Structure 1
Amino acid sequence: MKRPTSILNAILVLLALAASGCASDAPPSGGPVDPQPREVLFSDPDSGSVNTSPAKIRLLFSHPVTARQLLYAIHFSPEVDNYHVTVNGNEAEIVFFNPFEANRTYILTLNKSLLGTYTLPFATGARLDTSSISGSVQNTDLSPAASAFVLAFKSPGRNGSMPDMRNDRPDYLTQTDASGSFHFSHLAPGSYSLLAFNDSNADMRWNRSTEEIGLSSYRTVPAGSKNIALRLGGPDADHPGIAACRPLERQLLELTYTEPAEPADIDIREIQIHHAKTRKPVPVLDWYSPVSASASTKIRVLCGPLKTGEPYIITDQKAGTNKVLFYPTRFTAEKLPISISTTPADKSQPGYMNTVWPEIGNTATLSFSQPVTRNAIRSATVLSESGRRSPETLEYELKKIDARTFSIRPIDGFRPGTPYTLSIDSASVNGNPPIQSARTTRVSRFTTADTTNTGGISGTCWSPRGPVIVEARASNGALPHRVRGIQKETDSFSYAFTGLAPGSYTLSAFVPAEGNEQDLYRQKWRPGTLSPLTPSAPFGLHPGNVRVRAQWMADNIDIDIMNTAPRAITPDSLKGGSRIRNLRKQQPPSPQKPEPSLQ
């Protein structure tokens, strides 16, 4: 007789929990939506309380919340287990079933998905911990990583060794603001290992297989450190290479890599698919980047037929040894007509030729909405020099960047200050015969830029060691221009970019992992690994964007590689952050100046 009673009690408890978690955030019927952001109006205990070990925490919000919202928005540092959340409109209680540890500082953090930045520190002893660590987190493309989470693990850990950041619970957690900045406050004294992750599903929990991580350039960071920079790379994996495979269509897969990949890093011959049981291989036909002309941890692969519901394994031998199991989907998207865009765009005067993939020099770029073949483009494309009375059709070189992006230039190269016409028959690209009286040709008429249309950037990169690679990234998301820093003193390297199209640029620098003189564009910033724990390669970022204007050189654009050596942690070692940017008329580079960037 006890069993039915216990089951009935359990059902009643579940119903009560469901009722508390189903409250709505909607305003009363007929009332307007309150545009003011939700905030905490009252807490018990109060923020900063000491000598308190509460059995419950009471919160009063300015707007109603639900139990489910609050439950998934809560995080305690250090972590706290075994508590219960109840909500009644604007009021909430967090009831604890176990006492807090004596003489410790605790921090309640609420996720920004619930409201803006909110923390509630309190101490079970006579004083709050007061140590802090601050810095910033950037995405792979060096844009601010807004709302990313940063985890801090006490080092050494409780067993006296380095923390296992894959499996250990973090001691502290904080979230970045819109600028990517983070700040840990009320830390216990000591040193910490840091891990940032992109919380793409906003659940305050790190999904190892899909969410990108960023590591510091140090194994440990002492409390009190400032200006610690972390940069997101790819997801964590046991081995380098492919971290995840997501089938998008019957013969289209999206691969996520452990490190950002540029077009030159992908070799379709090294990507292999086979049936997990029969070992039968599946042909890999082509690939393209979902982010046009940009380094990304994701690419898309076109492959041969796959059997729905059957297991397959994919690997990229060039990128690493990691093998990923996946199951195909039966979904097939509707095939739409292929659209075409060109760079330079039509009527560009001047037209800038090296804005998409600077590594390949002065070329125009053809971008398609779907994969196309080289033969289809050749049969549909005409390039001519249009400055003459009778335009001259030119022989051209067509280079494949990926299955949707190609570069084109005359055999003898584009001449500065010269008008050209690039024509593409969209009907032919789509495999259709020409339609009489229909305009199916995409035309781009442009005049190539010359030295009077470009500008430059120069400055100093401060780094305790070299070599140093400096990058200038245009705001359109294209791949970066690169130059090598030329060492002036023990810890300073000069650099100069010339021939840049006017616009806004992000300036950054890194110390390549290999540290050798290989091809400039094959040097890599390495994001580090969790197992074994390997810190990321040092990098630095110039604060704010740099504006380039024609015939002007933006100089004194200095970059600090801030977290390369322990001395660089303290703010008084920063050398370039306070310098004033100024512009001066661009002058021909002297023999003592750095070599210009590759164009």
Structure 2
Amino acid sequence: MFSVMPVTYLQHGNRFLPFLFTLLFAGCAGQLSPGGGPVDTTPPSVVTTSPPNNATGVSTQSVSVEFNKYVDRRSFEESIFISPPVGTLEFDWGGREVTVSWSDSLRKNTTYVVTLGTDIIDTRNRNRLAEAYSFAFSTGERIDRASIGGRVYDERRAGVMILAYDLMHRPFGTCDPCRESPDFVSQTGNDGRYTLTHLPPGMFRVFALRDEDRNLRYDRGLDAIGVPRGDVRIDTGAQRVMHLNFMLTKEDNVQPRLLLASAIDRRHVELRLSKGIDTARFDRAHVTITDSLGKSLPVQALFLSPQQFSSITAATAAQTSGMQYRATVDSVWDVSGLGIALEIRTAPFTGSAVPDTLPPRLFSSTIADSARDVQPGAPIGLSFSDAVVSKNFADSLRFTDSTGAAVRYHLRWLDAASVSLRLPDPLSLDARYGLSAPADAVMTLAGLKAVRPLRLTFWTARTSTLGSLSGVVIDTTAGRQGGNVVMTATRVEPPASFTVVLPDTGTFQFGNVPEGRYTLRGYRSTTGKYDFGSVLPFRPAAPFAVFPDTIRVRARWPVEGITFRFE
């Protein structure tokens, strides 16, 4: 509240201005803190609460919280959660202290938990609460003390909401986070860790939610969510459950759509989709083109743009200039498994008179020409600027070592313009290899040939630059799931990843990895991909684990004895 001097005082000159300003600033409500000095980077913290933590026999209609510094009022009012709910909250501020009152009466013999989220910031430098703060009180003589803790693994791991639903008090023993309020709430700190405290006995389903619109509801397509590996049963008042960890994903519920079709030249049509599609299933893609008279235009081949998987190019028979065509796309899916929208899969275009004169060329390769220190297991892939005659290329491609001896490989066409080489035997270290094909081996369906031959030379990594990681995988989780154990070692800088697949727990080894600092992750899978689970209908996420420390790998020195735990 401001104190205001009468306007008539200003008629007597400037001598009253200092007095006026003093009164104005003295009447401020205390949201500003003194300036000057070094930049304050310390987070706000709670000094005292009333009732104190773990108080019993409490009969009150309010709680008070005092901080060590001034905090932003709005951030506090949007970041306080009381479980079970107590109705509408009202706030009465006085300096660094706030009293929170509510409209409902408290239940008998019930533990109430007050949680302050990490979105609370101070007024001076917007420092966030380092971790969620909870205190509890009971209206009876006993207080619940069980807890669930864990960590969220995500690039944006701070401030993620943790929502717990007690299934024992819900119809049909399930919950819908899209519609229902959680029974207990917490929030992750800067390191992604969280703790749900003072839980009663029950069966809890816990989700991690990046709540973009702060409504404590899961909004599909907007919020990222983490699904648990299973429900948590609390049997006693002091039980502690740890390592309920989460990885976040954003469920996609928007089907891909065909945005436009346009003729590039007389023999090529670009089909642009609203989103990238699943390359692993592109071999099922089907495109039909008809003219305004109902006559089909033959589609000879399809290929994706290597730069963006939302663009399909159809190689066609010769189009009629000025003719109106309609292209229809079928049997394509995005990476979430959503098929193309049936009502938006057709688009018109006008036939082109521009001749197809561009010769094919190597557009990109997974291994650059003259590359050195290539890992023996690195994928080898080639993408061309146009669809090529596959048999012609396959018959002419040569893969040789430094002695000129042929290297065995199997070709797999990803689409009409991209091919990968699968090697039955690993490449040797400290060796030179070459891929080559004559110019006429790279030929389009229209008969255009490459201007220059294909030549790609590379050297594999030197033994003197490599190390190894090895250890044992242990699974101590209750009701452990089956499936392979997929482990990935990721070098921090420069980025590089290496994966091994184990049939079950036991020993593992990453051999011949370049030196550097590595993180180590693993998950259970029967498909080779991580299963994030499903919110509704509920399907648990696959178990995963993260090694707690980075691992230093030095050249020619094995790192042994690593114990990697699923807990």
Is structure 2 residue 349 aligned with structure 1 residue 350?
Answer: no
TM-score (norm 2): 0.61
Is structure 2 residue 242 aligned with structure 1 residue 227?
Answer: yes
What runs of 5+ residues in structure 2 fail to find an aligned partner? 1-27, 121-128, 261-271, 289-301, 314-329, 345-362, 389-397, 404-408, 436-455
Corresponding residue for residue 239 of structure 1: none
Q: Is the 8 A contact 2:178 2:217 kept in 1?
A: no
Q: Given the superposition, is the C-alpha separation of residues 128 and 68 from structure 1 closer, same or farther in structure 2, using an over 3 Å criterion?
A: same
Kindly provide the CA deviation profile for residues 124-163 of structure 1, in whole angstroms up to 9, marking residues without a partner as x: 2223211112223334xxx794433222211222436233
Q: Is the 8 A contact 2:203 2:234 kept in 1?
A: yes
Corresponding residue for residue 469 of structure 1: 485
Cα drift, residue 555 of structure 1? 2.6
CA distance in 2, matches of 1:269, 1:83: 56
CA distance in 1, matches of 2:192, 2:430: 42
Corresponding residue for residue 316 of structure 1: 333
CA distance in 1, matches of 2:116, 2:331: 39
CA distance in 2, matches of 1:58, 1:525: 45
Mapping 1:160-559, distance limit 5 Å: 161-199=173-211, 206-222=218-234, 224-236=239-251, 242-244=252-254, 253=274, 264=280, 269=285, 286=304, 301-302=310-311, 316=333, 319-321=336-338, 350-352=373-375, 354=377, 361-363=378-380, 373=385, 416-418=429-431, 447-463=459-475, 464=480, 466-476=482-492, 478=496, 480-485=498-503, 492-512=505-525, 514=526, 523-559=528-564
Q: Which secondary structure state, in structure 2, belongs to the residue aligned with residue 455 of structure 1?
A: strand
CA distance in 2, matches of 1:31, 1:102: 50
Kindly provide the CA deviation profile for residues 326-357 of structure 1, in whole angstroms up to 9, marking residues without a partner as x: 99xxxxxxxxxxxx999879997634465xxx
Could you tell me which amino acid in structure 2 is paired with residue 453 of structure 1? T
Could you tell me which amino acid in structure 2 is paired with residue 483 of structure 1? V
Q: Is the 8 A contact 2:279 2:309 kept in 1?
A: no
Could you tell me which amino acid in structure 2 is paired with residue 472 of structure 1? T
Q: Is the 8 A contact 1:27 1:33 kept in 2?
A: no
CA distance in 2, matches of 1:266, 1:228: 39
Cα drift, residue 471 of structure 1? 1.4
Corresponding residue for residue 336 of structure 1: none
CA distance in 2, matches of 1:160, 1:363: 52
Q: Is the 8 A contact 1:506 1:545 kept in 2?
A: yes
Corresponding residue for residue 571 of structure 1: none
Q: Which secondary structure state, in structure 2, belongs to the residue aligned with residue 156 of structure 1?
A: helix
Q: Given the superposition, is the C-alpha separation of residues 243 and 314 from structure 1 closer, same or farther in structure 2, using an over 3 Å criterion?
A: farther
Corresponding residue for residue 517 of structure 1: none
Q: Given the superposition, is the C-alpha separation of residues 285 and 458 from structure 1 closer, same or farther in structure 2, using an over 3 Å criterion?
A: same
Q: Which secondary structure state, in structure 2, belongs to the residue aligned with residue 511 of structure 1?
A: strand
Corresponding residue for residue 316 of structure 2: none
Q: Which secondary structure state, in structure 2, belongs to the residue aligned with residue 558 of structure 1?
A: strand
Corresponding residue for residue 585 of structure 1: none
Q: Given the superposition, is the C-alpha separation of residues 353 and 263 from structure 1 closer, same or farther in structure 2, using an over 3 Å criterion?
A: farther
Kindly provide the CA deviation profile for residues 415-452 of structure 1, in whole angstroms up to 9, marking residues without a partner as x: 64246899xxxxxxxxxxxxxxxxxxxxx997421444
CA distance in 1, matches of 2:375, 2:464: 12
The higher radius of gyration belongs to 2
Cα drift, residue 173 of structure 1? 1.6
CA distance in 2, matches of 1:205, 1:151: 9
CA distance in 2, matches of 1:447, 1:215: 44
Corresponding residue for residue 68 of structure 2: 62
Corresponding residue for residue 40 of structure 1: 46
Could you tell me which amino acid in structure 2 is paired with residue 502 of structure 1? E
CA distance in 2, matches of 1:44, 1:200: 31
Mapping 1:18-37, distance limit 5 Å: 27=33, 34-37=40-43
Cα drift, residue 188 of structure 1? 0.7
TM-score (norm 1): 0.58
Corresponding residue for residue 146 of structure 2: 131
CA distance in 2, matches of 1:170, 1:326: 38
Q: Given the superposition, is the C-alpha separation of residues 351 and 213 from structure 1 closer, same or farther in structure 2, using an over 3 Å criterion?
A: same
Count residues with an aligned counterpart: 441
CA distance in 1, matches of 2:548, 2:60: 43
Q: Is the 8 A contact 1:23 1:67 kept in 2?
A: no
CA distance in 2, matches of 1:400, 1:179: 43
CA distance in 1, matches of 2:286, 2:206: 34
Q: Which secondary structure state, in structure 2, belongs to the residue aligned with residue 69 of structure 1?
A: helix
Q: Is the 8 A contact 2:160 2:187 kept in 1?
A: yes
Could you tell me which amino acid in structure 1 is paired with residue 44 of structure 2? R
State the superposition RMSD in angstroms.
5.4
Cα drift, residue 123 of structure 1? 1.7
CA distance in 2, matches of 1:128, 1:170: 20
Could you tell me which amino acid in structure 2 is paired with residue 316 of structure 1? W
Cα drift, residue 30 of structure 1? 7.0
Q: Given the superposition, is the C-alpha separation of residues 373 and 317 from structure 1 closer, same or farther in structure 2, using an over 3 Å criterion?
A: same
Could you tell me which amino acid in structure 2 is paired with residue 536 of structure 1? A
Corresponding residue for residue 319 of structure 2: none
Q: Given the superposition, is the C-alpha separation of residues 560 and 31 from structure 1 closer, same or farther in structure 2, using an over 3 Å criterion?
A: closer
CA distance in 2, matches of 1:342, 1:23: 64
Is structure 2 residue 117 aligned with structure 1 residue 111?
Answer: yes
Is structure 2 residue 49 aligned with structure 1 residue 49?
Answer: no
CA distance in 2, matches of 1:319, 1:71: 37
CA distance in 2, matches of 1:44, 1:326: 60
Cα drift, residue 34 of structure 1? 3.9
CA distance in 1, matches of 2:115, 2:88: 17
CA distance in 2, matches of 1:132, 1:467: 30
Could you tell me which amino acid in structure 1 is paired with residue 337 of structure 2? G
